[in-house]
Amino acid sequence: MNTNRLSKKIEEALNVQMTNEAHASQVFLSYAAWADNTGYEGIANFLFRHAQEERNHMMKILEYILKRGGKVKVTAIAAPDADPTSVNDCFKKVFEAEVENTTAIYKVVKMSLDEQDWATWNFMQWFVKEQIEEETMALDLLAKIQIAGGEKANGDALYTLDRDLEKTPDDARSAESVTADNP
Average pLDDT over residues 57-75: 98
pLDDT exceeds 80 at position 122: yes
pLDDT in the model for residue 17? 98
3-state secondary structure (DSSP) of residue 87:
helix
Digit-coded pLDDT (tens) for 24-41? 999 999 999 999 999 999
Residue 154 CB coordination number (10 Å): 9
Choose among 111, 107, 101, 127: nearest CA to 8: 111
DSSP state of 13: H
pLDDT band at residue 119 using 50, 70 and 90 as cut-offs: very high
* Residue 60, CA atoms < 13 Å, CB-side half-sphere: 16
Q: Is the confidence at residue 52, as pLDDT, over 60? A: yes
Q: What is the pLDDT of residue 71?
A: 97
The average pLDDT across 107-111 equals 98
Apex CA 49: angle with CA 95 and CA 159, to 5°? 75
Alpha-carbon gap, residue 39 to 153, rounded angstroms: 15
Q: Please report which confidence band the pLDDT of residue 171 belongs to, taking 50, 70 and 90 as the band edges.
A: low
Tell me the average pLDDT of the chain.
Answer: 93
Concatenate the DSSP letters of all residues of 137-170 into one string.
Answer: HHHHHHHHHHHHTGGG--HHHHHHHHHHHHH--S
Distance (Å, whole) CA 183 – CA 181 = 6
Other beta carbons within 10 Å of 24: 26
- Candidates 88, 101, 78, 102; CA nearest to 30 is 78
